[in-house]
Structures are given as C-alpha cells and as structure tokens.
A and B are shown apart, each in its own frame.
Chain A
C-alpha cells in the first residue's frame, strides 16, 4: 500500500515502531503535493522545514524516546491557524506576510502529539465563503471534478484531504465551513462542541461560533485527531472544563438502540433539496435502521430561520473582530506617495480598502450596520434571542434522540462561478449547517453517496453538547454502509 493512502493511526504506529521513518512519510506527501497540487491549488504555503523536522522526530525515536499518538503524521493546516514561524494570512491580502511568533493552542497540541506540518491550506478569505472562491490566493478546485468548487470555507483542507495531499487536515467551522466542504469533497469533517477545542491563535471570524475541527479520510482518523486537539485552555476562557473522552478507543459501529432523529424541517420538500441529496439521506437513514438504530422524527421549528440569524450574529462579531487589521501593527499597509494632508481616516480607508476582498467588506458592513445605535436592538439583540430559542429547541429535540441526521448541503458541489455573483444564493446554501453553530452543538459530515454526476454527498450528524462520541459512532456505522467506500477523487490525476 502506498504511504500516502495510510490512515493516521497506521502512519503513527509504523513510525513509532520504526517500520517507516517520519522522513519517508513526509517525503511521500511532499512528493504528492508537488505532483498534483498545481491542479488543485490547496496549499498557499509549504513548510520548507518539514523534512528536517521529520528527521528530528526520527532521531528522537532512535534515542528511544516515545512520541505521541500522531507520531510523524503530516498534516495540512487551514491558513487561519497561527503557526509559529510560518506565514499566516487567513487568505487575505490584509495580513500581507504576517508571520506569527506563536502557535495556536490546537497547533501546539498536534505538534506535541508528534504531528508535522506540511503547509498552510487555502480557504475563503477570513473563512467567509462557501465555495473557496473568495481567497486572495485564488479558488481551490474540487479533486472529484476540477470545474467544481470544493466548498468552503475550509475548501483547501477538504480538497487536499480528498486528493490525499495530507494525512489529515485541520479546518474551522463557523457556519458549516468544515462540514459543507467535507460533503463536497467526500471526506469526513467534524465540528466539535463549542468550547471543546481552544480558539487561541485561530484567527477569529465570529468568536461565539468558531470551532476548530479535523478533516480526514475516515471517521477513525477524525476521532484520533479530535482527541488530541480537545481540552480546556487557560488562554481561551470559552473552552469548557470537561474531560476529553477517548474518542478513538471508544469508537464503535454498534448503533443498536441508538436513537437517531430525522430533522423534519430539513427534509421538507420546499427546502429545495437536490434529489440526489435527498436519496442519499434516505439511504443513510435506512442503513442506520438496518444496523439496529431506532429512527424517530424530531423537530426544531426555528432551525429554518437559522440563515438570517447566523448572518446577523456572525457579521456583527466579524465587523469587530476584523477591526484590528488596520495597517498599524502588522500586515498590509497602503503605500502613500505623499503624506501631505493625509488623515488617519484616509490611512485606514486605503489600507483596509486594498486589504479586504468584496465578501469580507460586505460582511463588515452588514455587521457594522447591525451593531449601530438605532438598529442594535432590532437586529443583534433580536438575533441573539432567537439564537437562544434555537438552542433550547435543539435541547428539547435531544430528549427524544441521541443524534440528529440531516443533509449537509442543499446539493452536491456546484460549478465554480455559478453562485459567486449571488451572495444570497450562496448564503442559503448554509441552511442545514449554521444552526449547529448557533446552538453550539457538535456536528459532522460523513461521505455516504454519489450524485448522478459522480460527486460525493455527505450526511450530517448532530449530537447534544459534548456528546461527540455518539455522533462519531453513528458516523462510523454510516461509514461501514457508505456506497462511496473505496471510491476516491481522481479528476486531478
């Protein structure tokens, strides 16, 4: 078997047992990136030091040192995570050549576990987008069909994973940014409970919604990565003081008597669900029923209102979070030929005008408007209230079921350029994913079916707060029944 097709746990155990060197593994992935990424455009920066770092790991192993559960596992990192010494831009011009002097907590945990960084992955600018078309580094191509988008905002992570240009990828999910591209690219993507993973060092889009999560080929790999990434952090006071379960060890495909709720509102005909997607979801329900799960119908009436609520909350927070990019301390600064008569406002306007792309500007303006005096109560406060109700309705639904099954996206991946001119259509694409973030729940996408066009379709699973294990188990069971099994993205080959 080719090195680049090995699972994360296989790589780690082979490296740990010195059957394979970390250097060998890293070289294999580096070679594959060099060979294929020009077609996909998933990496925006390569870690030039990875082979040296791999050698360093091998030397430590040679000395008898024991490495962590990700020994020698080469990962691709969404460019939203600050990585010490590696340029981090959130794929925006505004950050210019910013090189962080610190690692985000999640990166530090992965490194401590023995992981290596292949490079930084493409994404929608500041994670604002659902197609990876808003990146300052150009769009990412879907490895299943290069004319199509990989989804977003973690499009680079999903595409790199689908093309096996990394053993595992790190993404972030604010309104579906892990799950939707995972669905579009046929990989597993997990958005943990809000507070499960530290946000420290992860460039903020919408602080109350952002979470880091793994994007992998299999559910086992996702469980292993998530276990390493999780845990309370004194640098992020919104992390939860809860124990981290042994997600990987506890993983089981046994879903007998697991109560699976099918979300009524998301299966409604007027939802505009693509027939192939609908077929896939129904097949997934059947598969779980066959595996012994109890299927029930549950309702979260306000979930259908999630999209406007999400865009109000997320844009409001973003408008404030992105204020620090002002050209004063780091990143892009507009060049002025003459300073005569230049006002501070001119300085900000030119710098930010040049630095941010149109989608980011749109959300900054939307958010600034929502928070303005006279509109705050009607928009931000009202949205926050409805958000609380959505959370309550989900908690109610989880009294009757352990996991909720639903579509990830209204349709499989769409063609590049098809929606970028129509922001509303793009936003509506997030209808099934944003409620998870609004309620702070864990959610995941598991690849399950193929469209008539040959594009992968994922199934979304949600669980109650900190019940990732139940969700992962259901996902593991789905993986066994997946019709996608064995089929790999190959349009780039």
Chain B
C-alpha cells in the first residue's frame, strides 16, 4: 500500500445481510435462491393494487438475535418507514425499511488486525426488504422480482475503521457472528451478504471528517479491501493535486480494479421517509428479548478464548477452529471422544480441513464423523497403530466413511509394539548390513537413520517408531 503517511482514512461499512427465513419479510412467498424467474412472487411482493405487507415474525426474531450477538441494545419500539424512490425493480415505488427508529442500536464488534485488538462500533441495525433484480439486454430490460421482499438486516458501523484490512476483517467478523447465531448463511456469491463502504481521508491530526464517498454493492471481502484501498489512494492523490473530493456514490469495477462514479450528491435523491401507515410499530416485550437471548450460542470471540484456556491450544489454532460454529462443534466432539485436544486440533486442521477444502465441502457434510475421528486418535494414542498409519486410516475413512477399527482390521494395520519381536527384527536387519554396522560403530553416527529406514521397510512401517528407535540404539551401542 502506498498510502501517504500524512493522511489517514476514515471508513464505515453498511452490511446488508439476508436473514435466513423460509418466507419473505412481508409476504408468504418463499425465499429460496434457486427458484425460476419470478417464481417466488405474489400480488403482495410485486406491489399489486390494494395489497398490504404483513410482517414475518421470524424476521423480527432473527434481527433481535443478530442485534444481541452484535452487542446492540434492542429497542422495545421500532418503526417501519417507507423510503420513496422510483426504480423498476422496486415494485411499490418505495422500500419498506426502518429510519429514525431502528430495531437495534449502539452495538460493537471486536476485531484483531496485526495482533492489535480494536473495538468497532455498530451504530445501528435495521430491518428492510430487498428489491428485485434488473438485467439489461440491449434495448430491453427484464426484471426478476424473486428477491423483492427478501428480508435484510442492514448493519451500519461507526466511522471507526482506518485501513482496508480493518474493514475486511470487520466484515469477516460480522459474517462469522451472523453465521454463528444462524440468522444469515453469509453466502457472498448468492448475494446473502453485500457491503456498501463509506470512505473519506483527512490529514493525520485533523478531527473533522473529510468528504465521504460511498462505494456501493461490493460483494466480496477481498473486493471490500481492494475497493477501499483504491479509493483511499484516489482521494489522497486528488487532494495532493489540490482537488476537492466530491460527495458521490461510486461503484467497484472488479475487472479494472477501480471505482467509478455512479452519481454525485447533486442528483442525490430525497427519499421522503415517513412511518409506513400499513404496519404497526414493532413493540417487543422484555420476555421475548430475554427468551431469544437465552438461545444465543457461545459467540466466536468467547469460544476462541475458551479453547485457548480449556484445551491449551495456540491462539491461531483456536482461531481456525472457531472460524465457523460447525468446525468448533466438530472439534469439541472429537476432543470429547478421544480426550486429546491437541491431537484433535492437529488432525482437523492439517488433514480434515484440507480434504474439505479440496472437495469444496462443509464440515457438516464430512464423511468422517467426529466420533470416528476421535476413535482413531484414541487407537493411535494406545499405540496400536502409529501416527503414520493413522494417515492411511484417515484417508480410507475419508474415502469410504468406514469405521477406523474395521479399516485397521481389513488392512492388517497393526503396530508391532512387542519389544522382543522388535529386537529380533532389528537384529535381522543389522545382520545383513554388517559393513554399515561396523562403520557406525567406527563413528559414522549418521547411519542411524539408514538403519531405522531399513527397519521400517522390513516391517512395512508397522513397527512402533518410538520403540524401534530405542531398541536400535540399544543394539548398535552394545559392543
């Protein structure tokens, strides 16, 4: 990054998270992503005359859950408001959103960048409906209203982020939290999470904010970072050339790695917000908020800290293992089955996550169940098989989903741990390599590895490596 040392950036994010519900926010239309064009529509969601919105309770409950997870205050009374503007994919000519009375306020999120912890404020989170999608085909445009009325929670951060990396990390953490509490699937490709970035720069030391530019609809965290990075540089360069930053909305062009102007403040719209008279204020009881609070799972930050404390694993390992709730739960289940947290952590991080990644599978779809992996670790720990054999067993478990014991039996994978048998095996190896034995005893200690390799080869790797090591040394050193 070539950011000038004289300037700092001020960044705020608006994250639009699609709430995971079966039906839309104000109608009973389904919300599945794979529906055919305009299949998920009804007179309500396409804004036919006389139709009215009826709020989906699940949306309110999910918003409360998300708000609590983001440390927000849940407002006992919030109000749906109409945001008025004309666009063909907006069926009613207004979007039902929340304006001066959102459901969640004053939250915060902790992020870690370059070993530093920062607390980023969440100014507000409000419920709203999504619009449809227009596709332009030369001289005509088609509109798919499947998304119209899909429930969104717009999460607005304070102007607390200072670098593209912080912004990217904040977005990742928010996504992680929403996925933990199971209110958003966080699927960026399907548009379940979208980001608008507000970026301004100011000379270091200056209190006032610079003129802000909004970058709309950035749909990946990498692009969030890239778009902000580009924008910061663009603004600094402009200021250094003596230009003024214009308040405007820009879009990210991912093909050309740059932002470009969409509209300036002069043509900014007056949305004429007012309370939606078709909907009653959302009034929440302490009981409901308390009930939802009691269903909140342990959140990623707390879980990561606990993993370090409880299992003695490193912070980075705890971070990997708590990245997703399902991974954390898998890890805890494996640990419970084998009572060996570090081994469980290693097997999951080095073997399982690699395989899952390659196969593009979620951990919930893993062919190896936590109990089976735990069992395998227990068998290794008992010395019945070696860690190396374990890798073979693991591969077989991954490929076939079979039980580790059955695989060990089928493959005859039994570790030789009998001291006398090992002594006999090693003696045989030494007998056919007398010259090397003489060399070793003459001082060529490096040959130890050669003998160990030969022992392993002779036993097809089935010998207990620790014991083999010990016995080999014993036999070589006795003169």
Q: Which residues of A contact B (CB under 8 A)?
A: 80-82, 88, 90, 95, 98, 100-102, 104, 199-204, 206-208, 234-238, 316-317, 319-320, 322-326, 328-330, 339, 344, 348, 368, 371-373, 376, 380
- Which of B47, B53, B92, B93 has its CB near the most chain A CB atoms (within 10 A)? B93
A95 CB contacts on chain B under 8 angstroms: 49
* Stretch touching chain A among B165-173, B269-277, B327-335: B269-277
- Known A90-B49, A323-B94, A329-B47: A344·B88 in contact at CB below 8 Å: yes
* 29 A-B pairs whose Cβ atoms sit less than 8 Å apart in the complex: A88-B49, A90-B49, A100-B49, A102-B43, A102-B51, A200-B51, A200-B52, A201-B51, A202-B50, A203-B49, A204-B50, A234-B54, A236-B54, A237-B53, A238-B278, A317-B277, A320-B272, A322-B93, A323-B86, A323-B94, A324-B47, A324-B93, A325-B93, A326-B88, A339-B139, A348-B86, A371-B273, A371-B274, A380-B274
Count contacts between A and B, CB distance < 8 Å: 103
A316 CB contacts on chain B under 8 angstroms: 274
Q: How many angstroms between the C-alpha atoms of A201 and B273 in the bound complex?
A: 24
Question: Closest 4 A-B residue pairs measured CB to CB?
Answer: A323-B93, A371-B272, A208-B277, A207-B277
A203 CB contacts on chain B under 8 angstroms: 49-50
Q: How many angstroms between the C-alpha atoms of A88 and B86 in the bound complex?
A: 23
- Known A320-B274, A326-B86, A372-B272: A199·B52 in contact at CB below 8 Å: yes
Q: Are B54 and A237 in contact (CB under 8 A)?
A: yes
Q: How many angstroms between the C-alpha atoms of A322 and B92 in the bound complex?
A: 8
- Known A324-B93, A326-B93, A329-B91: A237·B48 in contact at CB below 8 Å: no
Q: How many angstroms between the C-alpha atoms of A95 and B274 in the bound complex?
A: 25
Selected from B49, B84, B86, B279, the residue in CB contact (under 8 A) with A237 is B279
Q: How many angstroms between the C-alpha atoms of A368 and B271 in the bound complex?
A: 10
Q: Which residues of B contact A (CB under 8 A)?
A: 43, 46-55, 82, 84, 86-88, 91-94, 139, 143, 270, 272-274, 277-280
Q: Are B84 and A371 in contact (CB under 8 A)?
A: yes
**Shortest Cβ gap from A420 to chain B (Å):** 25
Selected from B48, B51, B143, B270, the residue in CB contact (under 8 A) with A328 is B143
Q: Which B residue's beta carbon lies closest to that of A239? A: B52
**Shortest Cβ gap from B272 to chain A (Å):** 4
**Shortest Cβ gap from A177 to chain B (Å):** 16
Selected from A104, A317, A371, the residue in CB contact (under 8 A) with B50 is A104
Q: Are B54 and A235 in contact (CB under 8 A)?
A: yes
A234 CB contacts on chain B under 8 angstroms: 54
A208 CB contacts on chain B under 8 angstroms: 277
A236 CB contacts on chain B under 8 angstroms: 52, 54, 278
Q: Are B280 and A237 in contact (CB under 8 A)?
A: yes
Q: Which B residue's beta carbon lies closest to that of A95? A: B49
Q: Are A373 and B49 in contact (CB under 8 A)?
A: no
Q: Are A330 and B278 in contact (CB under 8 A)?
A: no
Q: How many angstroms between the C-alpha atoms of A236 and B86 in the bound complex?
A: 25
A202 CB contacts on chain B under 8 angstroms: 50
A100 CB contacts on chain B under 8 angstroms: 43, 48-50
Q: Which A residue's beta carbon lies closest to that of B271? A: A373
Q: Which B residue's beta carbon lies closest to that of A342? A: B139
Q: Which B residue's beta carbon lies closest to that of A204? A: B50
Q: How many angstroms between the C-alpha atoms of A377 and B270 in the bound complex?
A: 14
- Which of A90, A200, A348 has its CB near the most chain B CB atoms (within 10 A)? A200
Q: Which B residue's beta carbon lies closest to that of A327? A: B88
A371 CB contacts on chain B under 8 angstroms: 84, 272-274
Q: Which B residue's beta carbon lies closest to that of A380? A: B274
**Shortest Cβ gap from B281 to chain A (Å):** 11
Q: Are A320 and B84 in contact (CB under 8 A)?
A: yes
**Shortest Cβ gap from A292 to chain B (Å):** 41
- Known A324-B92, A371-B84: A235·B274 in contact at CB below 8 Å: no
Selected from B46, B50, B82, B139, the residue in CB contact (under 8 A) with A201 is B50
A207 CB contacts on chain B under 8 angstroms: 277-278
Q: How many angstroms between the C-alpha atoms of A101 and B42 in the bound complex?
A: 10
**Shortest Cβ gap from A442 to chain B (Å):** 19
Q: Which B residue's beta carbon lies closest to that of A82? A: B50
Q: How many angstroms between the C-alpha atoms of A324 and B84 in the bound complex?
A: 10
**Shortest Cβ gap from A311 to chain B (Å):** 16
A372 CB contacts on chain B under 8 angstroms: 270, 272
Q: Are A235 and B52 in contact (CB under 8 A)?
A: yes
Q: Are A324 and B88 in contact (CB under 8 A)?
A: no
Q: How many angstroms between the C-alpha atoms of A234 and B26 in the bound complex?
A: 11
Q: How many angstroms between the C-alpha atoms of A279 and B270 in the bound complex?
A: 51
Q: How many angstroms between the C-alpha atoms of A203 and B273 in the bound complex?
A: 21
Q: Are B51 and A373 in contact (CB under 8 A)?
A: no
A90 CB contacts on chain B under 8 angstroms: 49
Q: Which A residue's beta carbon lies closest to that of B274? A: A371
**Shortest Cβ gap from B364 to chain A (Å):** 35
A81 CB contacts on chain B under 8 angstroms: 50
Q: Are A329 and B46 in contact (CB under 8 A)?
A: yes
A325 CB contacts on chain B under 8 angstroms: 49, 93
Q: Are A323 and B49 in contact (CB under 8 A)?
A: no
B270 CB contacts on chain A under 8 angstroms: 372-373
**Shortest Cβ gap from A85 to chain B (Å):** 14
**Shortest Cβ gap from A312 to chain B (Å):** 11
B143 CB contacts on chain A under 8 angstroms: 328
Q: How many angstroms between the C-alpha atoms of A95 and B47 in the bound complex?
A: 13
Selected from A82, A104, A237, A326, the residue in CB contact (under 8 A) with B278 is A237
Q: Which B residue's beta carbon lies closest to that of A202? A: B50
B91 CB contacts on chain A under 8 angstroms: 324, 329
**Shortest Cβ gap from A379 to chain B (Å):** 11
Q: Are A82 and B94 in contact (CB under 8 A)?
A: no
B94 CB contacts on chain A under 8 angstroms: 320, 323
Q: Which A residue's beta carbon lies closest to that of B53? A: A237
**Shortest Cβ gap from B165 to chain A (Å):** 36
Q: How many angstroms between the C-alpha atoms of A328 and B273 in the bound complex?
A: 23
**Shortest Cβ gap from B86 to chain A (Å):** 6
